[in-house]
Structures are given as C-alpha cells and as structure tokens.
Amino acid sequence: MIARHITSNIEQKGNIINTMHAEWLPTILQGSFSEIYVLNCNTLHFEYVNPTACKNLQYSLDELTSMSPTCLAQNVTKEAYARFIQGLQDGSDTSIAINTQHTRKDGSSYPIEFQLFYLASDTAPSIIAIGNDVSSRDKSDKALRASESRLSAMVSNTPGLVYQFRLRKDGRFSFPYVSDGCEALLGISSEALCDAPALFTGLILHQDMASYRETMRISTEQMINWNWEGRIWVEEWKDIKWINLRATPRALEDGSVQWEGIMTNITASKQEQEEIIRSRAQLAELSEHVNTVKEKERTRIAREIHDDLGGNLTAIKMALALLTRRLPGKSPELLEKAAYVESLVDRTIETVHRIAGDLRPGILDFGLVAAIDWQSKEFEKQLGIPCEFITNQTEIDLDLDQATALFRIFQEALTNIAKHAQASLVTVQLMHAPQYVRLEIIDNGRGIELADRAKPKSFGIRGMVERSVAMGGSLSVSTAPKGGTVVAINLPLPTTSVSGNIQTHNIGH
C-alpha cells in the first residue's frame, strides 16, 4: 500500500514512470540492502520501513511505525528535522545528507549515512530517507589511518631514506615517493628530488656510475632485488658519502618497473672496513717481520750452537780420548768412568746437532725439495707412520725466506697430524707450475672439524695461514675424498718454471 502511495505521488510529480515501472517498486523496496524509511512530515512518524531497516534495528515493522527517527538517532532533534523539511519543501535543498548513529533494540549502535528526499502530496507530504550502514567503511577508514600512522612512524624512525623509484620503458626515471630523510642523507629536499630526479644520479661519483647502472639493469631484467653500494658527493657538506641502496622491483601495467626500498649511509661501516683491512695488512706485515727476525735469530743461534758448542764438545771428546790413553796403570774403574764421560759427550753432541737442526735445518741449504724429502723421512722414522713424498721437480728455485716459510708450514702440518689425526698414512705432494708452487699434505686420519679450526687457541692453523698470506699465497684446509684432511698451500711465482720429471719417494716401503 505504501509502495503504491509513493508511486502515485511520484507520478503526480510528473516523473516518467509507466505502469510496468511502478510494479517494480515494491520489489526494490523489499530487496534493497539500504535502509529505506518514509516519514510523515507533519507527525515525523514512520509510515513505511523496509525489511533491511527492521533487521538492522532489531525492531518489528509494527514497533517501528509507532516510533519517530529521533527514537533511533538521538543526536538529531525534532528541530533539526523541521529545518530539513522546510529546506526541502521550499526547494532550497533538493536532498539533504545526514551522518548519525542508530541505536538498535538491544542498545548497541552503528553509524549510518542518510540521504533525505521530499515527496509532495495533497494529503500527507512525506520524506523518503535512504540510509546505509557505514560500520565497515568506518572500520576500514580507521584501520587505514592506523596503518598510515604506523607506516609514517616507521618511515620517520628509519635510519635512512625510504623511497620509490620508477623506470619507464623509454629510460626516463622518477621518484614517486621520497621520505623526509632525503635531505639528511643526500643534502637535497624530498620535494626537489621528486621534481628533478636527475639530481640523484648527479651525486654519484663517476667511478661508481657503471656499477650503479649495471646493478639496475640486472634487477630490471631478472626482477631480483637491487642492491648497490657506491659513493656520492654531497655538495652541501663538501663531503663524500658511501650509501647502500636496497630495493624490491615490481612490473607495472604500462611496462615500467618500480622499486620500493631504502637508502642508508654506510660511510662509517666502510671506514671501519677499510681500517680493519689496514690493520690486517699491518698485522700481516708485523707477522712477516716477526717470522723473518725469528728465522734469522734461529739461524744465528743454530750456527753458534753448531760451531761454538759443537766445536767445544768435539775438542772435549778429543782431549778425553788422549787422557784415556794416558791413564796410569789402566785402572778398570778409571777406564769405565772415561768411557761413560765419552758416551755422555757423544750424546751431548747429538743433542746439539738435533737442537741446531730444529732451529734451522741445514738441509735447507740444499733446497726446498731436499728439505721436505728429509723431513718426511724424519717424520716416519720418529712416529712410524708411512710418508710418501711426490714432486715434479728435483729443484725448485725459491728465495730463502719463501723456502723457509713453506718448510715451516710443512713442519707445522706434520706436527698437527702427529698430535691429532690418528693417521696411518701421509702423502706429500710438491708441484711446480709456471705461475705457482703447490704443496699438499694429505692424511687418512679422523679429519678436522670446523669447530676445531675456530678454537680460540688454535694457533697452529692460524700460524700456517699467516705465513702463507705473508708470502702472498693462500692456504686451505679441507676434507680428503676418502676421509682425513688435506692442507694445501698455493704460492704464486713471478717466474716461469723449468720442466722436470716426477719423482716418487716411498719412505719405509
């Protein structure tokens, strides 16, 4: 009946609605997701309420028709409605929008947005109110504002510059977004950079521009993260900064690529790295100097022990032999004492030779190949572990310091095998190539764990590494194919090699 009344009044207003269209109106009113109300302008009571409104408000149709809108929206007074109706009746307003809160039957409330329309009638002019529950929209707005607030807080507290960078197909680029950290990092305001994107590339040092473009090209073609480190000149501070650029790309519909990322100032860390490199270089130089001085001191001590102490002991042995021959009466007791002293002198001479050899093996004077061959034999003789030495040269021309350092690394490797490896076979390979010398010490023992190499007082391997680095070479410790450990030293050479035949020394077989 209300639908027919509304239709009749609309037709009276002269709108072009035929009979078929009028028949649609009840269905539209019943099926609408909007709340639809018809208010009597004189009484402000509901003449019609659609099912959606009844459902949202939790009232029946009979309950609502005995109520007025001020019962539901308590913050809108009758006086306000009177002003709305007056504005619609006199034509000063074609429609009126209201944002208010509706209270349900259970006391809960929800935000609603209304549009009011005037429907003239000779008998009872009415107001049609069409409203929509905007709870979801308000929640979305609040969530969006909260999200924007969190993002703004994160960006403002990020130690760097948050930005968007867009590269078009024609090669032009822009910064759609730049955070406020722009000026602190680049010495340019965010507005200036967005207006003139080329200001950024103008900061990059010429030496680093190629790497900047190459990393951008790779990121564009492979759609992988863009990571670049380089230097910029900040005119405002007359200073060079190191910056790190990290950004994630995504393809846009127009064929452009856009990155979202962050730029940070890494000048301090770069300076620290350079200082660490300088410190390590100084430590390496110091280590090399200490080793050189130590080897020279060992050589001096070994020579003095061998020449002075060894000579004195030999003289004592000769004098003792002379005195023994001239003992009166050839007393058995004196002869026994003399024999004991002579054996004691012999043992002391052997000890002197051994100590002098440990300080600096005289075999090194015959070359590195001979020294390693001799040490391999000594290792097997002392420990009973078979040791095979293989070389492709009878002689390798190294300066004395290099030969000594390589020999000391070899000795340390054998010491580690003796202490820890529990090996039953050791293979030593010394190969001379045109550009390098390679020494490998391979055992079939229990191997070495990474944790063992990193022990705080694991000075054996560290010493070997330091010696190899001081020579300009490299040392690696790895697991042998069949178990055990491989210690490999590569020493680069400035000279070409002389060809030779491979020789194999099977010690103790």
Taking only the tens place, the pLDDT of each residue in 195-210 is 999 999 999 999 999 9
Domain match, 183 and 252 both:
yes
Higher pLDDT, 153 or 475: 475
> Where does a domain end: 358, 380, 402?
358
CA atoms within 13 A of residue 233's CA, in its CB half-sphere: 10
* Mean local confidence (pLDDT), 320-340: 79
pTM, whole model, 2 decimals? Answer: 0.48
431 in the same domain as 481: yes
pLDDT at 137 exceeding the cut of 80:
yes
Structure token digits, residue 87? 């504005």
Cα separation, 412 vs 460, in Å, equals 7
pLDDT band per the 50, 70, 90 thresholds, residue 8: very low
What is the per-residue pLDDT for 236?
A: 81
Residue 279: its pLDDT value, please? 86
pLDDT at site 456: 58
pLDDT over 70 (residue 508): no
**Chain-centre distance for alpha carbon 255:** 30
Residues 285 and 225 reside in one and the same domain: no
CATH of the domain at 232: 3.30.450.20
Q: Give the model confidence (pLDDT) of 234-275 as tens digits.
A: 988 888 999 999 999 999 999 999 999 999 999 988 888 888
Is residue 278 assigned to a domain?
Answer: yes
Residue 292 and residue 258 in one domain: no
Say how many domains are in the chain: 4
Q: Is residue 242 part of a domain?
A: yes
Lowest mean pLDDT among 17-21, 338-342, 458-462, 478-482: 17-21
The residues, any chain, with a CB within 8 Å of residue 227's CB and separated by 6 or more, are: 215, 244, 245, 246
User: Is there a single domain that holds both residue 191 and residue 215?
Assistant: yes
In the structure, what pLDDT confidence band is assigned to residue 23 with cuts at 50, 70 and 90?
A: low
Say if 152 falls within a structural domain: no
* DSSP string for 400-442: HHHHHHHHHHHHHHHHHIIIII--S-EEEEEEE-SSEEEEEEE
Q: Which of 9-13, 354-358, 435-439, 483-487 has the lowest mean pLDDT?
A: 9-13
Residue 494 lies in a domain: yes
- Alpha-carbon distances, residue 155 vs 95, 114, 174, 241 (angstroms): 44, 38, 20, 21
**197 and 84 share a domain?**
no
pLDDT of residue 13: 40
Range of the domain at 26: 2-139
Residues 287 and 253 in one domain: no
> Would strands 426-432 and 387-391 be described as parallel, antiparallel, or unpaired?
parallel
| Helix intervals (H) in 157-235 | 182-186, 190-195, 198-203, 206-222
Q: What is the pLDDT of residue 146?
A: 77
Average pLDDT over residues 332-339: 82
Question: Which residues are 37's β-sheet partners?
Answer: 49, 129
CA distance 141 to 135: 10
Domain-located, residue 442: yes
**Residues 19-48 as b or e (16 or more Cβ within 10 Å = b):** eeebeebeeebeeeebbbbbbbbeebebbb
Q: What would the pLDDT profile of 62-85 be if each residue is shown by its tens digit?
A: 898 888 888 898 788 888 888 888
Task: Give pLDDT tens digits for 163-184.
Answer: 999 999 999 999 999 988 888 8
- Partnered with residue 230 across adjacent β-strands are 243
Give a yes or no: residue 448 inside a domain: yes
pLDDT(116) > 80: yes
What is the reported pLDDT for 455? Answer: 62
Q: Establish if 246 belongs to a structural domain.
A: yes
Highest mean pLDDT among 97-106, 276-285, 293-302 belongs to 97-106
Report if residue 149 sits inside a domain: no
Q: What average pLDDT does the structure give for the chain? A: 83
Radius of gyration of the chain (CA): 48
Q: Using 50, 70 and 90 to split pLDDT, how confident is the model at 158? A: low
Task: Please tell me whether residues 12 and 26 are part of one structural domain.
Answer: yes
Same domain (yes/no): 297, 352: yes
Q: What is the mean pLDDT of residues 302-315?
A: 79
Once rounded to an integer, what is the mean pLDDT over residues 116-134? Answer: 85
Same domain, 345 and 435: no
Of 216, 248, 265, the one marking the end of a domain is: 265
Task: Tell me, yes or no, whether 367 and 500 share the same domain.
Answer: yes
Return all residues near 265 (Cβ < 8 A) that are at least 6 apart.
159, 160, 185, 241, 242, 243
3-state secondary structure of 240: strand
Residue that finishes a domain, picked among 337, 358, 379: 358
The predicted pLDDT at position 212 comes to 96
Q: Is residue 16 predicted with pLDDT exceeding 90?
A: no
The residue-averaged pLDDT of 318-338 equals 79
pLDDT at 12: 43
Same domain for 33 and 87, yes or no, is yes
